């Protein structure tokens, strides 16, 4: 166990990714002890001479999660040692994990797949993933093939993501300028980061606001300044912060609904019906859910005369306000209307 590692908070996706890397890197399999003591996300909590039952339960949950994601995690017992659960081995066979040889992607499809890789960037493993792999190799467990094939290369996150990610790892307080929806002037916010989560294609910071002591969710695209980190340590954070953030966002999304009339056969109709949770009502209108009313208003205004907002009234007002601004700035093109 690394000195000082016990205080690190490792996001769930980082832990699962590191587990996949480790199980791909071994030909002969890893025991549970080898995984818990060397893999990023487990090793920070592992104690060689203490009870690791909670960590073992976490590993069991992670195995189930990987299998639900379709990862072919294999469990087997070494020859001559059947029945000894302590020596059960785990691995992921590359032949089962890799795509079949007859599956290929066009350039356009490959570009879309690359853009979808939001979590990993810079075309290389994270520093912690490298250190975890080095730890495995130091025990004599060598990878037979490079692992970079499994690392996405897109870097299309919000500008604040990198700084917030570092502050989250180091448990630092952050300060930034935040532009609230519907306002023109930003305000300074201080917070202790708890988690960075992606919901509906957008990144959010889940944090304890210093001024109020309450947990709040900030949309990263509304952070309009550099993120400044201090040396102040954050309070102890529960492991389920990311899950709680996503649950709260899901609750907001479920409780906010808009009803839209759309011109049949238009781009607006196609795009709005593709959104998660949207559906066509019996009279042809479209019902959809949203988290941020102002972001939805931006999107709907972009469709111009193809859409008409029926409810809620606040959304209709915001779309009209945007269209009026467009008309005022482009008098020749002022034929746009929303009712």
3-class secondary-structure state, position 29? coil
CATH of the domain at 321: 3.30.70
Q: Would residue 213 count as lying in a domain? A: yes
Same domain? For 178 and 62 the reply is no
Which helix (H) or strand (E) segment is 194 a member of?
Answer: strand 187-199
Among 161, 176, 160, 70, smallest CA distance to 118 is for 161
Cβ contact 242:9 at 8 Å = no
Domain of 35, in residue numbers: 5-150
Q: Quick one: pLDDT at residue 108?
A: 63
The residue out of 150, 182, 203 marking a domain boundary is: 150
Give the C-alpha distances (Å, rounded to integers) separating 174 from 8, 185, 207. 17, 20, 10
Of 150, 179, 211, the residue at which a domain comes to its end is 150
Q: What is the pLDDT of residue 128?
A: 53
Domain containing residue 213: CATH number: 2.30.30
Answer whether residue 155 is part of any domain: no
Residues of the chain with pLDDT under 50: 1-6, 117-125, 134-156, 333-337, 339
- Residue 117 covered by a domain: yes
Q: List own/partner pairs for 21-24 with CB under 8 A and 24 or more apart.
A: 21/125, 21/129, 21/132, 21/133, 21/147, 21/150, 22/132, 22/133, 22/136, 23/73, 23/90, 23/91, 23/92, 24/92, 24/94, 24/97, 24/143, 24/147, 24/150
**Number of domains the chain is built from:** 3
- Residue 76, Cβ neighbours under 10 Å: how many? 11
Q: Is residue 59 part of a domain?
A: yes
The reply to whether 99 and 45 lie within a common domain is: yes
Task: Mark whether 26 and 146 lie in a shared domain.
Answer: yes
Q: Is residue 338 in some structural domain? A: no
Same domain for 179 and 97?
Answer: no
Residues 125 and 38 both lie in one domain:
yes
Q: Which residue has the tokens 């993501």?
A: 161
Residues 169 and 301 in one domain: no
The answer to the question of residue 247 being in a domain is: no
Q: What is the pLDDT of residue 239?
A: 63
Q: Same domain, yes or no, for 52 and 101?
A: yes
Answer yes or no: do 32 and 106 share one domain: yes
Q: Are residues 122 and 205 in the same domain?
A: no
Cβ atoms 132, 38 nearer than 8 A: yes
Q: What pLDDT was estimated at residue 151?
A: 43
Q: Are residues 93 and 18 in the same domain?
A: yes
Residue 321 resides in a domain = yes
DSSP secondary structure, 87-99, as one string:
G-EEEE-HHHHSP
User: pLDDT (tens digit, 9 = 90+) per residue, 255-306?
Assistant: 999 999 999 988 888 889 888 889 999 888 999 999 999 999 999 998 889 9
| Residue 124 tokens, joined | 């290389």
Q: Which residue, of 126, 150, 174, is where some domain finishes?
A: 150
pLDDT of residue 140: 46
Helix axes 293-301 and 313-329, enclosed angle (nearest 10): 50
In a domain, residue 120? The reply is yes
The reported pTM is: 0.54
Same domain for 177 and 102: no
Q: Are residues 84 and 134 in the same domain?
A: yes
């Amino acid at each position: 166990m690394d000195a000082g590692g016990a205080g690190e908070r490792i996001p769930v996706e980082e832990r699962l990714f590191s587990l996949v890397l480790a199980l791909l890197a071994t030909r002969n399999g890893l025991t549970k002890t080898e995984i818990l003591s060397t893999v990023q996300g487990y090793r920070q909590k592992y104690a060689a001479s203490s009870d690791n039952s909670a960590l073992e339960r976490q590993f069991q949950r992670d195995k189930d999660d990987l299998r639900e994601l379709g990862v072919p995690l294999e469990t087997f017992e070494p020859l001559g040692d059947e029945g000894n659960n302590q020596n059960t081995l785990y691995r992921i066979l590359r032949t089962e994990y890799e795509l079949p040889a007859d599956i290929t992607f066009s350039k356009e499809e490959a570009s879309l797949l690359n853009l979808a890789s939001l979590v990993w960037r810079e075309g290389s493993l994270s520093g912690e993933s490298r250190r975890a792999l080095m730890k495995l190799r130091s025990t004599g467990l060598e990878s037979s093939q490079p692992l970079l094939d499994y690392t996405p290369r897109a870097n299309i996150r919000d500008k604040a993501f990198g700084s917030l990610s570092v502050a989250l790892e180091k448990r630092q307080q952050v300060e930034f300028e935040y532009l609230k929806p519907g306002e023109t002037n930003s305000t300074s916010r201080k917070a202790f980061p708890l988690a960075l989560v992606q919901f509906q294609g957008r990144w959010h910071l889940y944090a304890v606001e210093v001024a109020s002591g309450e947990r709040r969710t900030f949309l990263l695209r509304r952070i309009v300044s550099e993120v400044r980190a201090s040396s102040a340590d954050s309070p102890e954070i529960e492991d389920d912060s990311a899950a709680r953030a996503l649950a709260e966002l899901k609750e907001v999304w479920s409780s906010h609904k808009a009803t839209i009339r759309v011109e049949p056969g238009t781009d607006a109709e196609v795009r709005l019906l593709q959104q998660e949770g949207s559906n066509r009502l019996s009279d042809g209108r479209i019902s959809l859910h949203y988290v941020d009313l102002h972001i939805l208003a931006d999107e709907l205004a972009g469709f111009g005369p193809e859409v008409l907002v029926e409810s809620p009234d606040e959304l209709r007002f915001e779309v009209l306000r945007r269209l009026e601004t467009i008309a005022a700035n482009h008098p020749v093109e002022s034929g746009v209307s929303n009712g």
